[in-house]
Amino acid sequence: MPTIRKISADDWPALQAMARRSFPAPQGRFIRPTEEGFMALVENTPAAAVFLRTFPLRDGRRVGYIAWLFTDPAFQGQGLAKSLIAASVARLEEVNCRHILTDIEGHNTASAYSFAGNGFRRIGFADQWRIVGPANLPRLWMRTVDPGHFIWMRDAIPVMPRPGLQRLSAFGLNWLFALIAVLFGSGLLSFNMALSQPSGLEALALLLGVVLVFGVREATMRMTAKAKGWPLEYRIWDSAFIFALPVAVLFGQLFPLPGGLYPRQDRWRYPDALPALGLAAVAGTASVMALVALALAVSGMQVGGFAQALAGALLFIGKPMLLFDSILAFPPFSCFNARRIFDLHRGLWAGFAVLGAILFLC
């Protein structure tokens, strides 16, 4: 049986080394201690750890947050994560936390299994609004924000998700942030920043650009995965939208957050779904590449009018999408297609990364 005890300051060097073994590079180097936590020892050897944090909501309710949970690869499969989650829940209840939650990357099925087995359920935007209240959402998101991560809460009863409404929300928000990015030009951090109000034609082109890039990407991914026997469900990356506004204002660029496609059930194994998810990622990324290549061709023709505006919008939205979907395969961007392609075949990912970089720089 493992020994579970509180973490002390003397444990930090061993925890740092364990984190680097447990997380893909460079994520393990960013692990930092929190207020308190627990360590699992197997025969006096550090085998797993969990870091906890608490924070108040505006109305005084206290939230307990399981910030980091990791197991040394040499000790995986021994139920250590569940033991640490149970110890964490007991401690957070002891300090009168009204809500206990964590956030899990959508493809991290090992963590999803562990937390689901300890009474946690994935909650979407409607649940967050209902449970913590709209005034508390910014405070909640600032502490749990991460692209492609979903909030899981203990003892929550989630409402039925509405993927269609989530998709429309994602389209609308990305369009809004694209408009803000165009308004701020090269961004506040630029020495030659100048505000430039988008025209009605530009606004319409940006809206159609968002719909085309995100819509074609999702449609090709859905069809590919379904052909492989894995029907997928759309989920909005709600808390990550807090990233998009500062990127638009400071840099004058769109941080594309199209949401993700995942198997419909919460309990599934990533290795089982990877052949379908990987091929779906290939199809989705290839479709965005085709749109960007077409837009580059139209831009070179100098045709003018709405066709030129739409081509510009497709490049403004599609190029950053390609950056994440074909090149950035590592944390904190593991939710994008590049990671699925990398996991499917590293040589294939390298080819897509080169082609994506060429299109991005054109």
List C-alpha distances in Å: 246 to 109, 126, 313, 335. 31, 24, 20, 20
Q: How, if at all, do strands 45-56 and 3-6 pair?
A: unpaired
Q: pLDDT tens digits for 294-330?
A: 999 998 887 778 899 999 999 999 999 999 999 999 8
- 190 Cβ neighbours under 8 A, 6+ residues apart: 252
Mean pLDDT of the chain: 90
Bridge partners of 189, per DSSP, are: none
Residues 141 and 18 grouped into a single domain: yes
What total number of domains does the chain contain? 2
List C-alpha distances in Å: 210 to 135, 164, 169. 29, 16, 12
Residues 143 and 218 grouped into a single domain: no
Q: What is the DSSP string of 118-156?
A: TTEEEE-HHHHHHHH-GGGHHHHHHHH--TTEEEEEET-
The predicted pLDDT at position 146 comes to: 81
Residues 274 and 335 grouped into a single domain: yes
**Are the beta carbons of 42 and 78 closer than 8 angstroms?**
yes
Please state the separation of Cα 158 from the chain's center in Å: 20
**Are the beta carbons of 198 and 184 closer than 8 angstroms?**
no
Q: Cis ω on the peptide bond leading into residue 161 (within 30° of 0)?
A: no
Quick check: is 326 in a domain?
yes
Quick check: is 183 in a domain?
no
pLDDT by residue, tens only, the chain of 362 residues: 788 999 988 888 888 888 888 887 666 666 777 778 999 999 888 899 999 999 999 999 999 999 889 999 999 888 899 999 999 999 999 999 999 999 999 999 988 989 998 999 999 888 999 999 999 988 888 887 788 999 999 988 888 778 888 999 999 999 999 999 998 887 777 666 666 777 888 999 999 999 999 999 999 999 999 999 999 999 999 878 888 889 998 898 999 999 999 998 767 899 999 999 999 999 999 999 999 999 999 988 877 788 999 999 999 999 999 999 999 998 889 999 999 999 999 999 999 999 999 999 99
CB atoms within 10 A of CB 306: 13
Quick check: is 253 in a domain?
no
Q: Which domain holds residue 136?
A: 3-154
Residues 131 and 167 grouped into a single domain: no
- 143 Cβ neighbours under 8 A, 6+ residues apart: 53, 55, 65
Q: How many residues does the chain have?
A: 362
**Are the beta carbons of 195 and 185 closer than 8 angstroms?**
yes
The predicted pLDDT at position 24 comes to: 75
The predicted pLDDT at position 28 comes to: 62
Residues 137 and 55 grouped into a single domain: yes
Residues 147 and 288 grouped into a single domain: no
Residues 134 and 107 grouped into a single domain: yes
